[in-house]
Amino acid sequence: MIIGRFQRKPDETFVGSISTLFTNKRVRIVPADEQANPDAPQYRIFARGCEIGAGWDAQTNETPSRAYISILLDSPELATPVRVALFEGESDHYLIWKRRRDREGEGQPARNIA
């Protein structure tokens, strides 16, 4: 599900918005300062001047692979952190969210147990 659209600027930042049923926020994805730790985030994500997440360059497992930015969003308003991915499209970059399903059937429709 596409929950955001972004444009890449000449300074390598991405500017756009995240829009869902309950939110519509302007967001900036900014390259992080160089870090000594190779596992440190390569991007910082900001909304309204507050840091709301981090991102790392990644590649899909398909052939041929596609580059994307793996992003972890977190904020006090969220029950748990949210994983999303920023993919390049024909004209914009798209922020994609997919509900995660675990082995126990999480994400499946609720069953009536009465």
Q: Give the H/E segment covering residue 97.
A: none
The DSSP secondary-structure symbol of 76 reads: T
| 3-class secondary structure, 71 | strand
Residue 111: the pLDDT is: 46
Model confidence over 87-113: pLDDT tens digits? 999 999 999 999 877 655 555 554 444
Model confidence over 21-54: pLDDT tens digits? 888 999 999 999 877 788 899 999 999 999 999 9
Smallest Cα–Cα separation from 68: which of 43, 85, 46, 89?
85
Q: Where are the domains of the chain?
A: 2-96
Smallest Cα–Cα separation from 45: which of 70, 24, 10?
70
Output the pTM of the full model.
0.83
Residue 105: the pLDDT is: 52
The DSSP secondary-structure symbol of 92 reads: S
